Amino acid sequence: METAREAIAGTSKEAAQTQHTHELNRLLNPVRREVFKEAGLEGTVHIDKHHALAMKVAVGLTYSQQREIRRVLKGRGEKIAHEGAERKVAKELIGDDVTVTEMLFSSAGDGLVEKQMVKLTNIGEKLTKFLESQRESLMWHDGAIAENEVWVKVGGDHGQGSLKFSLAVVNTKNPNSKDNDILIGMQESS
């Protein structure tokens, strides 16, 4: 079998691992499970609702992207918490910090249109918490920013079906990084 594998994939360790992966992926789920069981690798990965939400946030996935991951994992016999359970955890974490209101937006061809806007209720508190968490890594960019000042940039981004409003703290190493942004509002665009 190894000789056949080398003829197909080559002799590098990486190529052999890739070939092994392709072979396992071609096995039907029940057969694959039996192979894993015989190899002492039985059992499935289970990602609970808290870890699933943490993964979604850390990687920056949308719920639809995570649904695709969930579908692939399920096809391989792995388990990830249901989206509903994950959304419930997110709602508990957010609490009363977010409100939904109706606002007027300008729409091409339609004039002013009333749409729902999700917004952060206490922006000052959120910004203060962020600054406290970043206290040791704040920067003043070689004197461009006075040491007793914090610069905050307010911006908007239209893309992926929504209009997002955010604050970006400039006193950071990478002020344009999404990790240094505080989302303060979002409106689904049509």
Instruction: Name the strands in the sheet holding 162-169, side by side, starting at the edge strand that comes first in the sequence.
Output: 98-107, 111-120, 181-188, 162-169, 152-159
pLDDT of residue 43: 60
Q: What is the 3-state secondary structure (H, E, C) of the chain?
A: CHHHHHHHHCCCHHHHHHHHHHHHHHCCHHHHHHHHHHCCCCCCCEECHHHHHHHHHHHCCCHHHHHHHHHHHHHCCCEECCHHHHHHHHHHHHCCCEEEEEEEEEECCCEEEEEEEEEECCHHHHHHHHHHHCHHHCCCCCCCCCCCCCCEEEEEEEECCEEEEEEEECCCCCCCCHHHEEEEEEEECC
pLDDT of residue 46: 80
Express each pLDDT in 130-139 by its tens digit.
Answer: 889 888 888 8
Instruction: Enter the pTM of the model.
Output: 0.53
Angle ∠(97,103,109) on CA atoms, nearest 5: 140
pLDDT of residue 29: 66
Q: How far is CA 46 from CA 28, 31, 181, in A?
A: 20, 20, 31
pLDDT of residue 154: 92
Q: How far apart are CA 55 and CA 96, in angstroms?
A: 23
Walk along the chain (190 residues) and give the pLDDT tens digit of each residue: 667 666 666 667 777 777 777 776 666 567 766 776 777 666 667 889 999 998 888 888 888 888 988 888 887 778 889 999 999 998 888 777 888 888 888 877 878 888 888 898 888 888 898 889 888 888 888 888 888 888 999 998 888 778 889 999 888 888 888 888 888 998 887 5
Task: State whether the Cα torsion 103-104-108-110 is positive or negative.
Answer: positive
pLDDT of residue 32: 67
